[in-house]
A and B are shown apart, each in its own frame.
Chain A
């Protein structure tokens, strides 16, 4: 199995831990991630204006290049996934926009690349059953709250990812690596997103509400797929503690890091030192290191 891999900018910099672990897990599970050549910015946001064709050029160009190099394109970052998947769908369905975009990027792309998130590859292509069979390190008893955020799920009719109100793919994944998924009402709420730039206290409050709810429901760690969620939940914990002295802190671990841990990969390859709240003391306590 070979899939084209679009890392996106953050995975080369701040979210190297998401990226590295993802690549290592692919090797361990026996599928190849072939990095798309000469990739550029995904566009970072799907345009809200109907006539903003310009903003669709970067993801369209990525898709057109992917068509030259393979048939299925995967991402780890939820934001890239959202932009690329929605652009692909628009190109499939809107003939007029397709023509405009193709004229603009001087390429001919008809929307026939399959766009899958890494989690979907685990579910549909590898299969959670095979993952269960490949587990080398027993994470039994590790209580993890899956945080979906918004980008994987919405808009539901375009993303076709999972039920937008009660998704389960993340829980299924956690069960396949023997973690105990913790259900909590904030799992599909807003992480604060880019409010962390203009109104940081708003994002801090969002993160606090999410994390305190996860803790109250018994979580020992929270897992994410999205570098932006990770930033708001992980890197803002110092600010949260300043505002809420009842907040004890909780490690935020990328799902690929958890997967790598379960697959028995060497811990140094999982780059836990990059997580702001160091998950290693917890993992040590659980006897996992």
Chain B
């Protein structure tokens, strides 16, 4: 006879408000092989877990059902609790009576109670078929891949490298630095972005544990946590970086110019260029779309002038294979394209620019040497209108979410404008001003008072060219008046969106994204830096809009999660995987085709299929596909699952069916 224990959680009123937990606990306690049953207000709390542990020890329980929230929340918690009393963790099961019962049946206590009881009875039926399983120990590659060389990727890389682990840092641009490289001074202390980034870049360069791979992209990812096989594509730079001394002659002599992405189109760059153009820091690459040699072979100037003979027009791409144990996705953000915003001129009005372009103007290394000048005629502007929440918080047309950084950077930009051009007047259209972090509100109030910024609460309806100025139609909802302003320049705080290609990279990693393309975390509070796909970790704006402070904190959190993973000798994995009955398997191979994780393979010698337990995620695809029922999932065998259904149906016939 089994000696099972059942523990019914109230979850405050989340469950107890809808389910009569006392009655459920009492009725379940009457089942023959249930030797212990009780309820408690918060089973996951310390005293709650203690109840379970005491009962396991004192009553000699050999199986436990915790009736509570979803197993994604606390299955691990309770399995650890029973394990500490010497019970095998795989005889502890969760009966979900919150998400699948109390939350969806509010206001119908009688039937919710009956359903909760039947859920527990069916889980007990499963438990009767459970086996004692041993955790699988898998080999672990203690090397991390970081995708994206912005401040998030840089921070995570340094933290990991400092704790002794190897890091491969992949960046698709010709040099690392990311968006932070484009910024001028940063809020709230007006530190220069370069003073934050410069030392970190130097640390990266000098750290022997970090291998930076600029101008590379992740092409393919196979395998799982602990052992990912990654194929990295190094795009052709057309320059032999081993020979190149970054002297810059080629950049000077190249006759082809196109708009510079880095300078947000405020100036041009040559067809041969470096990552952070303004600093002339990195080694150059040739842009194959604009280079005359690569387009039609009509120019060889860079090759002629290069003193080192480093130009290689025939360079091809390179593919590199690496094995890593964990991957950090730090792919960063872009700004919502102005070209899609009709009411603000579709990006066609030269004196309407976005926040990043204004940052380039403010930056001493930018195209104007830090002077604020109108793109149209180079004049120094007097009236500048800043518009916040452009394409943010606009669920009907654009993005519903708050981009989080715009309130602060707009205040900072307006303040810097006033400092650089003392007789200028910044006007800021806002919906709300959100200053939700340490020192932010003080910064804002200081800026408003000292610099006499004019804040107007309302949205701008239209921006258009009127003569050589920009007319702005808006409203001031605090005075209920229409506002019409003629400005010299308009700066749009456009929404933060995930950087281009995020969906492709997420698909390659089998990581999930939300409907806007931001990477989703496994749980917003419990696992905020982990992707639901194990071994994939998140940092920076790829996961959601955030400022530098939060990005750095998150990147360090990510690194510390990977440090804990790598501190183990081997990777411990749930043994809840597929297995094959060799007596039944006919070797048809269907399971090999359906497995999304490449965990199934034919054993050519025995003529049957086998399971790579390290790769199997227990998804069950092969079990459903097997025509002979030769595949089974450990502790979710067919007999158990059907048993659960029968038990539930039995109960439903009685108490649930009426009505």
Q: List residues of A whose CB falls within 8 A of some B CB.
A: 163-166, 185
Contacts and interface: CB of A to CB of B under 8 A. Distances in A.
A100 B466 CA distance: 50
B261 to A, nearest CB: 24
A165 B397 CA distance: 13
Interface of A is mostly: loop
A199 to B, nearest CB: 16
Interface string B456-476: 000000101110000100000
Given A165-B342, A166-B342, 8 more contacts: A164-B342, A165-B343, A165-B346, A185-B462, A185-B464, A185-B465, A185-B466, A185-B471
Contacts of B462: 185
Interface of B is mostly: strand
A253 B466 CA distance: 25
12 contacts: A163-B342, A164-B342, A165-B342, A165-B343, A165-B346, A166-B342, A166-B346, A185-B462, A185-B464, A185-B465, A185-B466, A185-B471
Interface string B338-352: 000011001000000
B190 to A, nearest CB: 37
Nearest to B348: A166
A163 B465 CA distance: 19
A163 B464 CA distance: 16
A171 to B, nearest CB: 15
Contacts of A163: 342
A62 B567 CA distance: 76
Interface string B435-473: 000000000000000000000000000101110000100
A185 B342 CA distance: 12
Contacts of A166: 342, 346
Nearest to A163: B342
A166 B464 CA distance: 11
Interface in B340-398: 342-343, 346
Nearest to B463: A185
Nearest to B342: A165
A164 B342 CA distance: 8
A98 B398 CA distance: 30
A166 B462 CA distance: 12
Contacts of B343: 165
Contacts of B342: 163-166
The 8 closest A-B pairs by CB, nearest first: A165-B342, A185-B464, A165-B343, A166-B342, A166-B346, A163-B342, A164-B342, A185-B466
B75 to A, nearest CB: 44
Nearest to B464: A185
Contacts of A164: 342
B414 to A, nearest CB: 26
B622 to A, nearest CB: 41
Contacts of A165: 342-343, 346
B585 to A, nearest CB: 50
Nearest to B343: A165
Nearest to A184: B464
A139 to B, nearest CB: 27
A166 B465 CA distance: 13
A185 B461 CA distance: 12
B486 to A, nearest CB: 12
A164 B397 CA distance: 13
B396 to A, nearest CB: 10
Contacts of B465: 185
Nearest to A165: B342
B336 to A, nearest CB: 15
A87 to B, nearest CB: 22
A163 B471 CA distance: 21
A234 to B, nearest CB: 24
Contacts of A185: 462, 464-466, 471
